[in-house]
Amino acid sequence: MADTCGQVLLGSGLTVLSHPLMYIKVLVQVGHEPLPPSLGRNLFGRQVYQLPGLFAYAKHIIKIDGKAGLFNGLAPRLCAGTIGTLVHSRVLQGNYPQLKLSKLDSCFLPNSASPFLFFFYQTTKEMIARSCATIITHPFHVITLRCMVQFIGRETKYSGVFDSIVTVYKNEGVLGFFAGLIPRLLGDMLSLWICNMLAHLINTYAIDDSVREIKNCSQAVTGFFASMLTYPFVLVSNLMAVNDCGLAGGLPPYASIYPTWVDCWRHLSLEGNMSRGNSLFFRKLPVGKTYAIDQKRFF
């Protein structure tokens, strides 16, 4: 119990610190670009037109809503994080039926199983825990995104956790709380399996057992790689969570009306915008957008 409380406190602290970053990322994902691009230099020193990055976007929000505006949607996100941690911990501590594998291994015990079977067991258990936490907390995730997207149209439709729950239920029913759930679940599961599989292969076949420091880093490296590969699922999930919900950010011109998340995926893929919002630095101009270009040159 003490470990779980510590995880909740640590997670809440990290959530507060990272919230402005997520806020700006979500606004970029839905296509809100209030600032014109300017001529800058990319990583190779070449002059290119770029959209303003994280800090310029943050200054824009502060100019309109003040510093507190950077924390719109924080309350439901904290609720999601706390409940998700408790559910995840509870599921991991649960007992699961042991799987009979072969005559040699009459029952599947992590202590005696082969490295691959141990990896499979641990990853499956983690997948179940994460999926349960995601499903239960997704309504708070939807509310968080909609509180953020309100910035675009200056709406106040989602003003608090309980009021937002009532609003979603009245307008969309129970299904409204689970908008964008399927691509989010698929992305989480794919990311987990890619990350753990790569880490298992690297630690088993590429790194010697004596080099523990590198083994500890391999999980972080493979996790970053997996998150890059599965980012389109995150983008599609967030767009579907706010799509056609009555907010300006979920309606044209920011987004088309998508009947299903597959339609959203296809539309973004055709436009070449599957990585929109993945980076908040050195941001190239998105496809299909036009701007009044600032002709000021940099030397």
Give per-residue pLDDT as tens, 57-82: 999 999 999 999 999 999 999 999 99
In this prediction, residue 105 carries a pLDDT of: 42
Tokens of 126: 């983690």
- In this prediction, residue 104 carries a pLDDT of 35
CA–CA gap between residue 182 and residue 17 (Å, rounded) = 28
* Residue 47 parent element (H or E): strand 47-50
Q: Closest Cα partner for 284 from 28, 88, 13? A: 28
pLDDT of res. 186 = 97
Which pLDDT score, from 0 to 100, does residue 273 have?
87
Question: In this predicted structure, what is the pLDDT of residue 159?
Answer: 87
Q: What is the pLDDT of residue 40?
A: 73
pLDDT along the chain (299 residues), means of 10: 81 94 94 84 75 91 94 95 93 60 43 73 93 97 96 92 95 95 97 92 74 68 91 96 92 88 94 87 65 40
CATH architecture assignment, domain 1-295 = Alpha/alpha barrel (1.50)
| Each residue's pLDDT tens digit, 263-288 | 999 999 998 889 888 888 877 776 55
pLDDT at res. 208: 66
